[in-house]
Structure 1
Amino acid sequence: MEDEGVAEKRWNFKPNGVLAHAAKLPIKGTMQAIMRNLDGGDTRSTIALCQGDPPVSPCFRTTPIAVDAVVSALRSSEYNGYAPIAGILPARRAIAEYLSRDLPYKLSPDDVFLTVGCTQAINMAVSVIAHPGANILLPRPGYPYYEARAAFSGVEVRHFNLIPERNWEVDLDAVESLADENTAAMVLINPGNPCGNVFTYQHLAKVAETAKKLGILIIADEVYGHLTFGSNPFVPMGVFGSIVPVLTLGSISKRWLVPGWRCGWVVTNDPNGILKETKIVDGIKDYLVISSDPATFVQGAIPQILGSTREDFFNKTIDILRQTADICLERIKEIDCITYPCKPEGSMSFMVELDVSHLADILDDVDFCCKLAKEESVVILPGSSVGFKNWLRITFATEPSSLEEGLRRLKSFCQRLAKK
C-alpha cells in the first residue's frame, strides 16, 4: 500500500478530444442515443426506419452473380496477398468502364482509386483538400459523416441549404456568398441522402458553372447512383468534368445491396488534367500509402460483379423502392402533424416535416424520436442530426409489411399525443 504522502501517479496520455466531438455527428451516434430509449418490456419487434442497410430485410438480397464472383475469387487463391495501393488493375479497369457508360468521355484505370467502402472515399476526399485554413461547403440537410471527417481533419465547414419547395435544389446564391479564397470544395449528394431527391441535368450544369466561377472542385457522392424511380434520371456529376474537376465517390454497397462488403472508389473526372496540375492526384496517392484497402478477393470479384449483373436484378430493387416510397407517402398523408414537401425520386430515404405545435409534451424532433422509440419501438432519425431541426428522415429500404407496421405505430403515436 502506498504511503499517504506519496502523490498519485500522473499519466501523460489522454484521448484526442476531436474524436469525441466528431463521433457525435454521424448517424450511427444519433441512432445509438435514440435506441437507448427502447422499452425492453415491449413484446413487439423493433422497427428501424433510420438507417440505409437494405440487406437486413429479406426482400433486398444481392444477385447470385455477385456472390458467385466473390466465392470464385476467394477459391482461386489469386487474391490472398496485398493489392497495389490504388487497387488491383482489373477492378480499376472494370470500374472505369462501368462509369464511362454514362459519360461523354472515357475514364482510364488510372482515374480510379479503390477504397474501403464510400466511408473511406469520404475520408480520402476531405483529407486531400485539408490544407491549413481550408473550408468546405456542405449541403444542409446532408450526410453528417462529412462534418465529422472535416472536424477530425481541421477543415472548416460552411453549410448551404437545399431548398425543400424546389425539390431540394442547391441554393446557388448561398454557395456563392459562403465561398472565399480558402474554399476548396463543395459536396453534392445525388441521388440525395437524406432527401430522396434526384437533381436534373439543368441544375447540375448550373452547379458546375458556379463551382468553376468559384475555383473549387466538386465532391460528388453518388453511392446511390442509378437508384432512381421518379421522373428525373440519374445524371453523374462527371458529365460536367470538362467544366469543373470532380471527385466522384461511389461503391457497390447500395446498388448491389452489399454494404458489408466494403468496396468503394474515388474517381477523378477531370479530362482537363486540373487535379493532376494542382497535385490533388498526388495527394490521393499519398493518402493511400498510409491507409488500408478493400479485401483483395472482393476486388478480384469486381469485374464480374460490374460486368455480368443483369438489368432485371436492378429493376427488381427499383420496383421495391418505388413500392415502399409510395407506402410512406400514403401513410404520411394520414398523419396531421407530418408533411412532406416533395415525393422521393431516388435513394432509400426522404425528409418529412414535423409540426410539434400539434403535439402535447413534445419539445422538438429529438424528443419526438426518443419518445417514439420508447412507446412504439420504432426508430426514426431526427432531422436535427442531418441539419434540419423539426424534420424527420425516414428510410424506406425495408420490408413492405414491416414498413406498414412501423408507420401504423407512428400514426398511433401522433394521434395519442395530438393536442385536443
Structure 2
Amino acid sequence: MDSYLIQMNGNSDVHVHRNGNSPSLGKVKGRKPRWAVRASEMSKKTFNPIRAIVDTMKVEPNPNKPMISLSLGDPTVFGNLPTDDEVTQAVKEALDSGNYNGYAPSVGYQSCRQVVAAYYSCPEAPLEAQDVILTSGCSQAIELALAVLANPGQNILVPRPGFSLYKTLALSMGIEVKFYNLLPEKSWEIDLKHLESLVDEKTACVIVNNPSNPCGSVFSKSHLQKILAVASRQCVPILADEIYGDMVFAECKYEPIATLSTNVPILSCGGLAKRWLVPGWRMGWILVNDRRDIFGNESNADLCYAALSAISGLQPIQPSGAMYLMVGIEMEHFPKFENDVEFTEQLILEQSVFCLPASCFEYPNFFRVVLTVPEEMMVEACSRIQEFCERHYQDNEGAQDLECDK
C-alpha cells in the first residue's frame, strides 16, 4: 500500500507526496504561528447573579464576634442535620459490590430508574422506568430540561424572586428570560395576570419552583390548579423545580403539580440533595411526578419568623416549606443604606451575620435567611440582626428630617 505525506504551508496550501518522499521546500513564507484561543460565546453569556453580588462584597466580619453564615443553602454545613445511616450504608454497599465502577447508561441504570419510578408513581400521574432520567444533581436536571424545551431565541418565564440558576443557564443558551412577579402579601403566590401577560409565541416554558427558593413558600392545591389553567390556556409546558418537594412544615400540604394536571406537559426536576441531606453526592432526576413526605424543621422557621417580626424595619414573610425565609427591609427606615446589598454588607461588617441580599434573586430590598442552622445559632443570629437594626433604624420623622438636611 502506498503511503502519503500531507504537508501544509503557512498559507494553508495542501501538498500530497506519495511514498512519504518529501520534496525540499526551502523557505516557506507564511504567517507566524501564534496562540488564538478565545472565550466561547456561551461562556461570555454565562452570568451568576449571586456570585456577581457576593464576590464584590469587600467587607470583613466583626472580629469580636464569631461568624454566623445564614447564606449558604447547604443543610450539611453545620452538622446538626446528619445524613441518615441507611442512606450512607446503601452507598457503601453499592461501592463494595464493584458493580458500578464503569460507565453507566447516559439516562441512568434501568434498575435505579425503575425504583425511582415506583417510588413516585401514583394513580394521578403514573410513572414507568422510561419516564425517569437520572442526572448529576437537580441543577443538571434543570439544565437538560431547559435544553429540551427551549431553543436560542425563545423565552422562558421565571419567578421573581427566584433561584439565580434559571437565568444563568438560560442566558448561556441564548434563551431570553422574562420574570413574572411573586406577591409577598399573598405568601409569595404567583401574580397570575402578570404571568399570563408575558406569554407570547416564543415562550417555551414556565418554570414553577414549589416549595420555593428563596421564599420558603408552598403553593396551595387551588393555586397550583390556577397556574395549570394559565399554562393550559396558553399551551405552554411547565418545568417544575421540586427539589424541596418533601420539605414542608406540619401545617402545610405539598402537592406535586404533575398530580393535578390533566393536559399540561410537565418536566419535574428533583434529587437527593436536600431531602436526604447529601448535596455533594450529585444525584438528581427528571420525571413527571414527585414524592410527598413531611420534613419537620418548622421550629427554626417559627423561631426565626417570630424573632424577625419583632424587629422594627423588617418584614419577614412566613415560610411554609423548603429551608428559607425572605425578609423585607423597609429601606426608608435605614437611610444609611442605598439597597439590600449595602444593608447585608454592613450586617457582616458589624455583626458577622451573612444573609444573601435578595438582589441575587432579582428582588431588591429583601434578604434571604437559611433555616437549617442549629437552633442556638439561629437565636444568636436573630439577636445580632436585632442589635444591628436598632442601631441603624430611624422612624419616619427622623428619616424626613434627614432628607430635609440634604
Q: C-alpha distance in 2, partners of 1:415/1:119?
A: 39
| Corresponding residue number in structure 1 for 2:391 | 416
Bigger share in helix: 1
**Residues 417 and 17 from structure 1, CA distance in 2 versus in 1: closer, same or farther, beyond 3 angstroms?**
farther
| Corresponding residue number in structure 1 for 2:101 | 80
> What pairs with 1:90-129 in structure 2 (closer than 5 Å)?
90-101=111-122, 104-129=124-149
Given the two structures, how large is their TM-score scaled by the length of structure 2?
0.85
> What pairs with 1:17-166 in structure 2 (closer than 5 Å)?
19=43, 22-25=46-49, 27-34=50-57, 36-39=58-61, 42-101=63-122, 104-166=124-186
Contact 2:357 2:366 in 1 (8 A): yes
Q: Secondary structure at the match of 2:76?
A: helix
Contact 1:198 1:346 in 2 (8 A): yes
| Corresponding residue number in structure 2 for 1:261 | 281
- C-alpha distance after superposition, 1:55-101 (max 9, x if no partner): 11222111100000000000000111110010001111111111114
Aligned identity (percent) is: 36
Residues 1:323 and 2:283 aligned together? no
Contact 2:53 2:341 in 1 (8 A): no
| Corresponding residue number in structure 2 for 1:351 | 326
Residues 1:402 and 2:402 aligned together? no
Q: C-alpha distance in 1, partners of 2:55/2:371?
A: 19
Task: Decide which of 355, 364, 371 is 1:380's aligned counterpart.
Answer: 355
Task: Decide which of 9, 12, 15 is 2:39's aligned counterpart.
Answer: 15
Give the residue type in structure 1 aligned to 2:38: K
Task: Decide which of 188, 191, 205 is 2:211's aligned counterpart.
Answer: 191
Q: C-alpha distance in 1, partners of 2:266/2:206?
A: 10
**Residues 28 and 395 from structure 1, CA distance in 2 versus in 1: closer, same or farther, beyond 3 angstroms?**
farther
Q: Which runs of 4+ in 1 moved over 3 A?
A: 8-11, 16-21, 27-34
Q: Secondary structure at the match of 1:55?
A: coil
Question: Following TM superposition, by how much is the alpha carbon of 1:216 offset from its aligned partner in structure 2, in angstroms?
Answer: 1.0
Question: Following TM superposition, by how much is the alpha carbon of 1:38 offset from its aligned partner in structure 2, in angstroms?
Answer: 2.3
- C-alpha distance after superposition, 1:300-331 (max 9, x if no partner): xxxxxx9xxxx9xx76xx33x21110111121
Q: C-alpha distance in 2, partners of 1:239/1:262?
A: 26
Number of equivalences: 364
Question: Following TM superposition, by how much is the alpha carbon of 1:47 offset from its aligned partner in structure 2, in angstroms?
Answer: 0.9
Contact 2:324 2:368 in 1 (8 A): yes
Q: C-alpha distance in 2, partners of 1:13/1:228?
A: 49
Structure 2 gaps of 5+ residues are: 1-31, 399-406
Give the residue type in structure 1 aligned to 2:309: K
Give RMSD over aligned pairs.
Answer: 2.2
Moved more, 42-51 or 154-163: 42-51
Contact 1:191 1:197 in 2 (8 A): yes
| Corresponding residue number in structure 1 for 2:404 | none
Give the residue type in structure 2 aligned to 1:395: V
| Corresponding residue number in structure 2 for 1:209 | 229
Given the two structures, how large is their TM-score scaled by the length of structure 1?
0.82
Question: Following TM superposition, by how much is the alpha carbon of 1:415 offset from its aligned partner in structure 2, in angstroms?
Answer: 1.2
| Corresponding residue number in structure 2 for 1:332 | 308
| Corresponding residue number in structure 1 for 2:19 | none
| Corresponding residue number in structure 2 for 1:300 | none
Q: C-alpha distance in 2, partners of 1:267/1:30?
A: 33
Question: Following TM superposition, by how much is the alpha carbon of 1:359 offset from its aligned partner in structure 2, in angstroms?
Answer: 1.8
Q: Secondary structure at the match of 2:243?
A: coil
Give the residue type in structure 2 aligned to 1:106: P
Give the residue type in structure 1 aligned to 2:135: T
Question: Following TM superposition, by how much is the alpha carbon of 1:221 offset from its aligned partner in structure 2, in angstroms?
Answer: 0.4
Give the residue type in structure 2 aligned to 1:212: S
Give the residue type in structure 1 aligned to 2:168: A
Question: Following TM superposition, by how much is the alpha carbon of 1:161 offset from its aligned partner in structure 2, in angstroms?
Answer: 0.5
Q: Secondary structure at the match of 2:143?
A: helix
Give the residue type in structure 2 aligned to 1:331: A
Question: Following TM superposition, by how much is the alpha carbon of 1:31 offset from its aligned partner in structure 2, in angstroms?
Answer: 3.6
Question: Following TM superposition, by how much is the alpha carbon of 1:21 offset from its aligned partner in structure 2, in angstroms?
Answer: 5.3
Contact 1:31 1:50 in 2 (8 A): no
Give the residue type in structure 1 aligned to 2:302: D
Q: Secondary structure at the match of 2:204?
A: strand
Contact 2:155 2:178 in 1 (8 A): yes
Contact 1:30 1:381 in 2 (8 A): no
Structure number with greater CO (CA < 8 Å, separation at least 6) is 1
Q: Secondary structure at the match of 1:394?
A: strand
In our comparison, the structure showing a higher alpha carbon Rg is 2
Question: Following TM superposition, by how much is the alpha carbon of 1:222 offset from its aligned partner in structure 2, in angstroms?
Answer: 0.4
Give the residue type in structure 1 aligned to 2:334: L
Q: C-alpha distance in 1, partners of 2:33/2:340?
A: 46
Q: C-alpha distance in 2, partners of 1:150/1:38?
A: 33
Give the residue type in structure 2 aligned to 1:338: L
Q: C-alpha distance in 1, partners of 2:389/2:41?
A: 39
| Corresponding residue number in structure 2 for 1:303 | none
Residues 1:391 and 2:391 aligned together? no
Contact 1:192 1:347 in 2 (8 A): yes
Question: Following TM superposition, by how much is the alpha carbon of 1:176 offset from its aligned partner in structure 2, in angstroms?
Answer: 1.5
